[in-house]
Amino acid sequence: MTDIIKLGAAEIAAKIAAGELTAVEVTEAHLARIEAVDEKVHAFLHVDREGALAQARAVDEKKARGEKLGPLAGVPLALKDIFTTEGIPTTVGSKILEGWIPPYDATLTKRLKAADVVILGKTNMDEFAMGSSTENSAYGPTGNPWDLTKIPGGSGGGSSAALASFQAPLAIGTDTGGSIRQPAAVTGTVGVKPTYGAVSRYGMVAFSSSLDQGGPCARTVLDAALLHEVIAGHDPMDSTSIDAPVPPVVEAARNGSVEGMRVGVVKQFRGEGYQAGVIQRFDESVALLKELGAEIVELDCPSFDLALSAYYLIAPSECSSNLARFDGLRYGLRTGDDGGHSAEEVTSLTREAGFGPEVKRRIMLGTYALSSGYYDAYYGSAQKVRTLITRDFEKAFEQVDVIVSPTTPTTAFAIGERADDPMAMYLADLCTIPTNLAGNAAMSLPCGLAPEDNLPVGLQIIAPALKDDRLYKVGAAVEAAFVERWGHPLLEEAPSL
């Protein structure tokens, strides 16, 4: 079992295709790992043992019939509990949807199943994806496998923890302000936020519709690219879906190089609040890129300093609108329906019982920002700042091919450390938020451990919209050079559970 769970997704698929392993063997090994360690990690909210084994058997039967297998056939995956899955619960980490079983699959879920990826279950997350630590889940926090007293990032901490604890070789996350990349950074894994609109949002429970984006999570750049290719592509069911070919991400991951590329370093992505060890590893990564043949270009993007403020007006405003559908009358939790309360009272009681503190905080903030007399002053102004940020990116990408930065200002902090300080929590997304506001593509990959606490540090790579392949080209080159010199931190240095 130990040998199987340490394999990457590409290796597993190759061994299944060659007959060296069966999909059932691989699935059973990961289910056994979940049973052995997830009580401590709490990466999963729901494990679909029977469904996963049925999917695995179908892959083995397909191979026995001589049918061609896809590049990820039989590979297990942990799915963030924000995508609808027919027949098994989708809670979004909230009490208001506890026990809700969707009657349909999200487009992303359908594409995973069509590619014969084995879905192990649904992973823990901050409620409605609102958070940076997975402490806001109504079902309890997830631990970071490097140190179970630390956060695994958020909102997709369950997905990143499942990867880092070898409970799954692949996972799916969503990224509204950094919720794929920040968990990847603090767990020593790879996470990609594709170009906005590149992966369908149909069946993904909405938080902030102009920012939300599903994406791949893995332990290597190539594995992330293989998963990216499966889930991306136009979907007529999603009005924001881009009708354009998927960039050649797998080819880029297989042929990583930065020779002759111009790599930008933004001066706004460092300074006060950044951990010394994070800056040290980032500076080493920039030196490595230069050594590999890249030209380093200093960039000044002044509007990036306003990104956090703009985001925390735009995202709550959209959340206020989107979460209005949870009224206790149609589906999910219903409280106070005893014949003595009006429909309005039932809705109020349901929301009081069903939403957690962070969700209520953002709904109230967003409702205030959208209210009469304040719309132009707050929401309208934030959208103007968003335009400035987009223009700064456009100017930057006239000078460089990609931008690099630390993914997060610090390594993983202790569970509970920032629970009572929302502003300190929000600062965890300082480097990731500008990309969401502009709709660009971005990746986080491991660049070593911070010397002061021996916890993972993430390198962020940002590419222009629809140039997602550049992420993989640069990421694969950095990963290969890093592994050659220092080894893979997750495979060689992560503590055993």
CA distance 228 to 13: 15
443 exposed, middle or buried (CB, 10 Å; 0-12, 13-18, 19+)? Answer: buried
CA distance 112 to 330: 29
Active site residue 150: no
Give the closest residue to 407 by CA, choosing from 250, 162, 175.
175
Q: Which residues contact 193 (CB under 8 A, 6 or more apart)?
A: 175, 178, 180, 181, 213, 215, 432, 435, 436, 441, 442, 443
- Pull the structure tokens for residue 343: 């429909």
**Local structure of 331: helix, strand or coil:** coil
Question: What is the number of alpha carbons within 13 Å of residue 78 lying toward its C-beta?
Answer: 34
CA distance 344 to 243: 41
Catalytic residue among 155, 200, 241, 444: 155
DSSP string, 70-119: PTTTT-EEEEETTB--TTS---TT-GGGTT---SS--HHHHHHHHTT-EE
Catalytic residue among 63, 80, 95, 110: 80
Active site residue 63: no
Catalytic residue among 159, 160, 179, 303: 179
Angle at which helices 9-18 and 221-231 cross, to 10°:
70
Active site residue 80: yes
CA distance 489 to 483: 8
Identity at 447, one-letter amino acid code: C
Sheet holding 170-174, edge to edge: 44-47, 118-123, 76-80, 170-174, 214-218, 190-193, 441-449, 456-463, 402-406, 262-266, 295-299
**Per-residue exposure over 174-200, b if at least 16 CB sit within 10 Å of its own CB, e if not:** bbbbbbbbbbbbbbbbbbbbbbbbbbb
Give the closest residue to 442 by CA, choosing from 237, 267, 192.
192
55 exposed, middle or buried (CB, 10 Å; 0-12, 13-18, 19+)? Answer: buried
**Local structure of 448: helix, strand or coil:** strand
Instruction: Give the residue numbers annotated as catalytic, written as ranges.
Output: 80, 155, 179
